[in-house]
A and B are shown apart, each in its own frame.
Chain A
Amino acid sequence: MAAEMEPPPLGDAEQTDFREVDDTDDLFVSTVDQLESSPSPPLEPANLLVEDVSVNSNGPKPAEVILDDDPEDLFAEATEEVSLDSPEREPILSDGPSPAITPVTPTVMITPRIEPAMFDCSPDEVEEEENGDTFDINISVSDPEKVGDGMNAYMAYKVTTKTSLRMFNRNEFSVKRRFSDFLGLHSKLASKYLHIGYIVPPAPEKSIVGMTKVKVGKEDSSSTEFVEKRRSALERYLMRTVKHPILRKDPDVQQFLENTELPRAVSTQALSGAGLLRMVNKAADAVNKMTIKMNESDAWFEEKQQQFENLDAQLRKLHASVESLVCHRKELSLNTASFAKSAAMLGNSEDHTALSRALSQLAEVEEKIDQLHQDQAYADFYLFSELVGDYVRLLTAVKGVFDQRMKTWSKWQDAQVMLQRKREAEAKLQYANKPDKLQQAKDEIKEWEGKVEQGEQDFEQISKIIRKEVERFEKERVKDFKVVIIKYLESLVHTQQQLIKYWEAFLPEAKAIA
């Protein structure tokens, strides 16, 4: 297997892309080259692969064919299309240098599931197939448990997966993970997929203040709230990640969900060396972004970018409004509880028996109403506020892929410039009598021609992928919001039902006052 991967990576060294200290990238580049460089006609299927799979949101794309590379063999010989999308397939991993990926028993494979339909079908159909029966996985994050003491303490969360997908060994399994494990997962996924245009869901944010309180052992309600907020965020993060048809097939994701032990992701520490490196890279990126002026040939991208800018602004405002709502609701809960207490005290001092009882009942009703307010505030927050917050964060990932596309374009342009220079250099050398230098120049031209071609293909590739990703994003957005609005309405209906019960019970008490 490794042999296949050998051709000198045409990928160059100027990887300024945002990525983690991770070696998998080179592998991808080389894989791409490798596939590209098999132009022989009989390998039509291979070309087909290159062609269609990229349209196919399900199949691993050449660039990220995560070393699922037996497929290359298959395609070399197969005359039938093989579906890479079959979820039953175990991912075959090459022994790549990636620290995160441990080779999984390569046996599997492949009952090559021949599904011509899959191969040819349009993005929409594939999507539907995806949303239909193949997607069956549910992840819950629960049982936060403090491990250790003092500043070295951390929260361990239980991650339970329930699934019928055969890519997993069992139908239901749990593992223990800590926050940095999630961050580690995200950083691996980001480094693998972001630069080719996949919208990788962002991991929940770090909070030094929040965690410190928990570590230090403050048992107050703000710590509990913080842990609950985080637990919920981690759950949503994982669900979003596995909902993504490509990401859920990533071995890192599967490992994360299944393996009892994970190597500790150290490079995610906030103030670590890697953390600082990341910050520096981000800054460099920002500068680059400002200096790249892209000639947009495709109006769709421009429109979309503008649209996402607008959406970002609207969502942020929306988020602020929802937070305000949550805040006021909590205040109402506090004041209601306070009123309940004063009504109870009044009832206790009341001489008139029936009035006293009614006032005590009043206090109880108010306490129950307080509980309803709290439940509603919980719904406001966890359904609504966090949804909007997630989308604000998701939009940064979306903007990120657009930036990646710009960078890819830029790289392509740079290659073209370089090629031009090499050609000019060669032209000059034609007249100087230096056969070695001439040859070298010719070689270099070939090299750069390859790079230009690569650059163009990368650009087209990422553009295609982004289009699909954006389409998927739009669909998911509608689904997510619809789910939330329904849940929210259900909570509202429930609250009113409860209130009706309370009032109906209280009325006779009030009327009983003689």
Chain B
Amino acid sequence: MGEWTLSVSAHSIRVPEVTVDGDTLVFTITSQKLNNDVGVCVCRTFEDFEWLQQSLFDQEDVPGLQGIIFPPLPGKPLPSSQPQAQAKALKQLGCLALSDDWKSYCKALEIYLQQVASHSTLSKNKALEGLLTNSEPPGKQRVHKGIFSRLSQAMGELRKENHKDLDDFFQDERNNNLNMTNFTKAASEKSFEVALTEQRLAVACGHLSTSLHLCASQDGPDSANFSKICMKFSEVIDAVKRNVEKVSENNVSTLGLGLEMDYRGHEAKKDMLFRRTCKLVEMEAAVKNAERAKPNKKAIMEEVKKVIEKDFEKISSVAKEEIGRFSEARVSLLRAALIDWCEKQLQTAREDHEIFSKQLEACEQLKCE
């Protein structure tokens, strides 16, 4: 690939906002040039991201490409207000679909881009540069889901998943990964359930506040005091509602997002391990073929075997590196998510403690005689 490198700094990549254009979401991506701090700003749709991901998968002359754990791209966002589409979006995107104005989703895209841009191999792909810096969006190359999963598990090959490994290290990794994928998926889903419930609770608070308001407004002339109380109560419940909403937003935008990304990361690792396992199976088949080959075919079979063996070795060595990188990266990601989550919740708790305390004071002083 030569010495060409990405012209913007990975850490400066941001997806600060998104606009809805009919059925499509248009994301703004900003970044800063490495050498002179000049800012770059482009607008992209989800299809552009898919194009990038596909381009990364399609790289031809990267040895051991299959050993790379590809940063996971979030699922397709469905901005439609149709209830069925919304339900589908919630199912696919989990927490990412829940935050206000797609904030979490944008953050997920941001993380994705940063991960690609930080990857020693992937960052060298010109597609990334194009996506981040070209004023024109990448070509309207509609991507078929079928091609997209070229490097993922094909239906018929799932049985290979359980194929025993030669290498203890990788066998352990595969076992461990299976657990981690399940647990992170569960944690992400449960966190999502909590967020949904919080939303419903907030709505219930809204209804309650309205009911209290009604109690206040319709009472007769003698009941001014009761009305006062009901109004106060209504304000309190409003504050509760805002608190629940803030807590939920905090959950979704930090912890929920972190858990979701971690889960997707483990899935990406699983994909990689599977690819390697497939190669392993292929290699073992080639070895057998070479052994059993008839003398006239033997040389060719040996050649084929050697190529596959070399390929497999490369993949395995890349995989080992990737596993190490991935491990560090995900700890870093979760650490950031947990700290962010804790700090935001702490701040919210402090603010709302203040608010409720003031309301308590006001109520205690309420003159109701």
Q: Counting CB contacts under 8 A, is A328 at the interface? A: yes
- Residue of B at shortest CB range from A308? B220
| Complex contact B363–A478 (CB within 8 A) | no
Q: Counting CB contacts under 8 A, is B121 at the interface? A: no
Q: Counting CB contacts under 8 A, is B208 at the interface? A: yes
Residues of B within 8 A of A321 (CB): 204, 207-208, 210-211
Q: Kindly specify which of A3-11, A67-75, A290-298, A504-512 makes contact with the partner chain.
A: A504-512
User: Residue-by-residue, is A325-352 near B (CB-CB < 8 Å gives 1, otherwise 0)?
Assistant: 1011101100110110111011001111
- Residue of B at shortest CB range from A338? B190
Q: Counting CB contacts under 8 A, is B120 at the interface? A: no
| Complex contact B349–A510 (CB within 8 A) | no
Known: A351-B176, A511-B335. 16 other contacts (CB 8 A): A311-B215, A318-B212, A321-B207, A324-B204, A327-B204, A338-B190, A339-B191, A355-B335, A474-B226, A485-B229, A485-B363, A488-B236, A492-B240, A507-B339, A510-B339, A513-B331
| Complex contact A317–B183 (CB within 8 A) | no
The SS class assigned to the A binding surface is helix
Q: Which of A303, A352, A482, A492 contacts B368 (CB 8 A)?
A: A482
Q: Counting CB contacts under 8 A, is A322 at the interface? A: yes
Q: Counting CB contacts under 8 A, is B197 at the interface? A: yes
Q: Counting CB contacts under 8 A, is B186 at the interface? A: yes
| Bound Cα distance A355, B333 (Å) | 11
Q: How far is the CB of B182 from chain A (nearest CB, A)?
A: 9
Query: From residue 174 to 192 of chain B, which have CB atoms closer than 8 A to chain A?
Result: 176, 179-180, 183-184, 186-187, 189-191
Q: Kindly specify which of B10-18, B102-110, B302-310, B353-361 makes contact with the partner chain.
A: B353-361
Residues of A within 8 A of B342 (CB): 503, 506-507, 510
Q: Which of A349, A490, A511 contacts B360 (CB 8 A)?
A: A490
| Complex contact A332–B198 (CB within 8 A) | yes
| Bound Cα distance A503, B356 (Å) | 18
User: Residue-by-residue, is B36-55 near A (CB-CB < 8 Å gives 1, otherwise 0)?
Assistant: 00000000000000000000
- Residue of A at shortest CB range from B349? A499
| Bound Cα distance A395, B220 (Å) | 16
Residues of B within 8 A of A341 (CB): 190
Query: From residue 341 to 399 of chain A, which have CB atoms closer than 8 A to chain B?
Result: 341-343, 345-346, 349-352, 355, 358, 362
| Bound Cα distance A358, B339 (Å) | 10
| Bound Cα distance A486, B240 (Å) | 14
Q: How far is the CB of B230 from chain A (nearest CB, A)?
A: 7
Assuming the A-B contacts A349-B180, A489-B363, are A342 and B236 also in contact, with contact meaning beta carbons closer than 8 angstroms in the complex? no
- Residue of B at shortest CB range from A327? B204
Residues of A within 8 A of B350 (CB): 496, 500
| Bound Cα distance A329, B208 (Å) | 13
User: Residue-by-residue, is A310-323 near B (CB-CB < 8 Å gives 1, otherwise 0)?
Assistant: 11001101101110
| Bound Cα distance A310, B338 (Å) | 50
| Bound Cα distance A485, B200 (Å) | 23
Q: How far is the CB of B199 from chain A (nearest CB, A)?
A: 10
| Complex contact B211–A318 (CB within 8 A) | yes
| Bound Cα distance A179, B228 (Å) | 37
Q: How far is the CB of B124 from chain A (nearest CB, A)?
A: 29
| Complex contact A314–B363 (CB within 8 A) | no
| Bound Cα distance A490, B360 (Å) | 7
Pairs of residues from A and B, 7 with the lowest C-beta to C-beta distance, nearest first: A496-B353, A503-B346, A339-B190, A510-B338, A489-B360, A499-B349, A321-B208
| Complex contact B186–A485 (CB within 8 A) | no
Q: How far is the CB of B202 from chain A (nearest CB, A)?
A: 9
User: Residue-by-residue, is A18-37 near B (CB-CB < 8 Å gives 1, otherwise 0)?
Assistant: 00000000000000000000
Sampled A-B contacts (8; CB under 8 Å): A314-B218, A321-B210, A324-B208, A332-B197, A332-B201, A339-B187, A500-B349, A513-B334
Residues of B within 8 A of A504 (CB): 346
User: Residue-by-residue, is B257-289 near A (CB-CB < 8 Å gives 1, otherwise 0)?
Assistant: 000000000000000000000000000000000
| Bound Cα distance A478, B363 (Å) | 12
Assuming the A-B contacts A325-B201, A489-B363, are A496 and B187 also in contact, with contact meaning beta carbons closer than 8 angstroms in the complex? no
Residues of B within 8 A of A328 (CB): 197, 200-201, 204
| Complex contact B338–A362 (CB within 8 A) | yes
User: Residue-by-residue, is B293-331 near A (CB-CB < 8 Å gives 1, otherwise 0)?
Assistant: 000000000000000000000000000000000010001
Q: Counting CB contacts under 8 A, is B165 at the interface? A: no
| Complex contact A489–B236 (CB within 8 A) | yes
| Complex contact B193–A486 (CB within 8 A) | no
| Bound Cα distance A510, B212 (Å) | 41
Assuming the A-B contacts A311-B219, A322-B208, A486-B364, are A349 and B190 also in contact, with contact meaning beta carbons closer than 8 angstroms in the complex? no
| Complex contact A307–B223 (CB within 8 A) | yes
- Residue of B at shortest CB range from A488? B236
Residues of A within 8 A of B219 (CB): 307, 310-311
| Complex contact B187–A335 (CB within 8 A) | no
Residues of A within 8 A of B200 (CB): 328, 331
Residues of B within 8 A of A437 (CB): none
- Residue of A at shortest CB range from B216? A314
| Bound Cα distance A107, B118 (Å) | 97
Most chain B CB within 10 A, of A310, A327, A329, A482, is at A482
| Complex contact B346–A478 (CB within 8 A) | no
Q: How far is the CB of A358 from chain B (nearest CB, A)?
A: 6
Q: Counting CB contacts under 8 A, is A477 at the interface? A: yes
| Bound Cα distance A513, B357 (Å) | 34
| Complex contact B240–A355 (CB within 8 A) | no
| Bound Cα distance A328, B236 (Å) | 18
Q: How far is the CB of A299 from chain B (nearest CB, A)?
A: 12
- Residue of B at shortest CB range from A329? B201
Q: Counting CB contacts under 8 A, is A216 at the interface? A: no
